[in-house]
Each structure stands twice: as structure tokens, then as C-alpha cells.
A and B are shown apart, each in its own frame.
Chain A
Amino acid sequence: MSRSNTMIILVPTDFSPTSARGMAYARDLAKRLNARIAVIHVIDHHPAQMRFGASHSVFEDEIVISARDALETAIDCADVRDLLYKACVEVDPSPEDAIARFATAVGADMIVMGTHGRTGVPRFFLGSVAEEVLKSARCPVLTIGPTRELHHAA
């Protein structure tokens, strides 16, 4: 928990429309709470690693660099630049651990996540990462399911 006066809202993103929904919600909530936003993207596996084996540091760097670019774009698209506290790209096979670590590091007061409401496979209704974050986070987690409007649009 953040002991400073400023409240920190952490938003994990995988650049999906679902994540964008979470980011937009976090922005509006942050404005109303006078809070600031921390954003994290976790690269959970390396395509390069699978294809080229051990010596891939160049590819690894490339992936991280392009992820940082994508994260900057996502921040601008969601219009959270002026609320931004910290943005971070992590490489970790379990995104939920990286998210939990970052939450502790920035002293997040809340994690805000969009969840997708795919029907038919109830076990994966939330998205596995969202579910794992719910389980491992020590701070409150706000989940935003698909609204009806979005349902129709999809």
C-alpha cells in the first residue's frame, strides 16, 4: 500500500481491446480520485527463444524495444500521459508474478483490469492472467467485464 498521499492505480496491459477498456476506466477513475497511473506490459514468452535457441539476445532486445514502443503508443491512445506515474516492460514467464512485483514496487493502491467475458468455457471466462492476478495481488483488484454495448459490437 502506498503510504504517500498520492494514490497509485496499476494497469496491466497486453495491448488488447480488453486491456484498453481497463486503461480507459482507470484513467477516468484516476481523474476522479486524484490518483496517478502505473502501466505494465509483461512479455511472457519469446518467439525468438523458441526459434533460435540460446543465442538470441539481439532478438530479445528487439522484442523489448518494440514492446516499449507499443506501451508508449497505448499510453497516448488511452490519454493517460499526464497521469502517468511509471511505465514498465517486464520479461517474465508468469505475468501475474511480474504484475504483483511491480504493484509492490510502485506501492499500488489498486489494480484495474479489463476482463473478457467469453462464453462457453467458464473456466477461462476472465482470462487466465486476470484470474491469476486476482489470486496473487495483495492490493484490491478492480475488474471490468465486457459491457453489453461492447458485447453487441463484438
Chain B
Amino acid sequence: MIPVDQVACTLATKSTTPDSMSPTGASRGLIRRILVPVDFSRTSLRGLDHAIRLAQRLDAELAIVHILDHVIIDSAYYVPLTQQMEFDQQVVVDARKDLANLIRDKVGTEISCSTEVLIYPHTDVAIVDHAVKSNVDLIVMGTHGREGLAHVFLGSVTESVIRKSTCPVLVVSPPMEWAAESGNGQVVGSESS
């Protein structure tokens, strides 16, 4: 068995040591930087739409992150470590490409925007840590991500981020129609190109 955490550490594009610094503007309603975790599900893209509108009105910049939490674990059984790292790198390259396309299609050039792909086994921790590290004033995310169930009103990652985050979190719920149309309860969405 490959020590997953060790691999995660070597591959992590950002270290995830918690920083004691708290976002200075957060408590005063100053929003200069908005973190938007995106997993390409339509709820998360709805969160992005909302963040874009807020950024326009507040003249804030966006930090869009995509977290790869399952890559290493899924492939650990099939390939040796060195090949796996190549494989992971390819996944990161693809994710970067998807993010770049997303920015081109949705954000445009009016808003200042950065993107980052993070590899970390726990999505919630990755989001909260990244928020502190990159000094954001607000996290905007959907009620569910890709793995969320429609009948659970608040996804576990979102719930955990709300609880752990030191900066405010804006949670964007899906419209009523979405809950009605998917009978299997899964909020599916892979509109990524």
C-alpha cells in the first residue's frame, strides 16, 4: 500500500500548514479577494456565477481553485509510484486546462482572476487552508459539489467549510427546478469541456 499522505505531500502544489493569520478585512465587510472552489458540478458553477457578480459589484478579485482529492487513492492500486506521479501530473495538467477554459467562458477579462489546482485528500481542509494562505475575505460555494445528494440539503464539504473557515462563507443553493428534475437524487453536473 502506498502511503497516500506522503504522496499527497510531495505532489501538493501548496503546503497546507495552517497559518495563524486571520483575514484582516473579513470582519469589516471588506471583500477584496473571493475564493471560489470549483469541481465543475453545476451547483459549484452556480456559486461561481454568483461570485462573479459579487466581484463586479465590489471590484474584488477571484481566486478559483479546483481540488483533486481522489486521484491518488483511486489509482494507488494499479500503478507503481513513479508512473502514478506521471499520471497525477497529467490529471493536474488536464484540470488546469479545464479551469482555463472555464475562466475564458465565464469570467472573461474584466475581473482579475487567479486559478490553482490543489491536490489534497480532504477537500474541506484544502479550501479552508487555501483561504487563509491566499488571504481571501470570502469563500463562495454551492450547497453541494459533484458528490452531493440532492436530498441532503447541505453537502458535507460545504458544511465542513462553514464550520472550519475563519473567513465568511457565502453558500449558494440550487434553484427549485433542479431538485424537481433529478429523481435519482444526484446533483449531476459535468459541464466541464
Contacts and interface: CB of A to CB of B under 8 A. Distances in A.
Interface of A: 24-29, 31-33, 110, 115, 117, 122, 125-126, 131, 134-145, 147-149
Given A33-B58, A126-B163, A138 B30 contact: no
Given A115-B162, A137-B173, A145-B162, 14 more contacts: A28-B28, A28-B30, A29-B29, A29-B31, A32-B29, A33-B57, A134-B143, A141-B171, A143-B169, A143-B170, A143-B171, A147-B26, A147-B166, A148-B22
Which residue, of A25, A117, A136, A145, has the highest number of chain B Cβ atoms within 10 A?
A145
Nearest to B47: A140
B126 interface: no
B189 interface: no
Nearest to A34: B57
A144 B50 CA distance: 18
Given A126-B162, A143-B162, A145-B163, A25 B27 contact: yes
A142 B154 contact: no
A36 to B, nearest CB: 14
Contacts, number: 75
B172 interface: yes
Interface of B: 20, 22, 26-31, 50, 57-58, 138, 143, 153-154, 162-163, 165-166, 168-173, 175-176
Nearest to B46: A140
Contact of A32 (B20, B31, B153): B31
B163 A144 contact: no
Nearest to B164: A145
Given A147-B22, A147-B26, A135 B171 contact: no
Contact of A140 (B22, B172, B176): B172
B29 A143 contact: no
B154 A147 contact: no
A91 to B, nearest CB: 25
A55 B123 CA distance: 54
Given A134-B154, A138-B173, A122 B163 contact: yes
Nearest to B58: A32
B168 A144 contact: yes
A136 B142 CA distance: 14
A140 B58 CA distance: 17
A136 B173 CA distance: 9
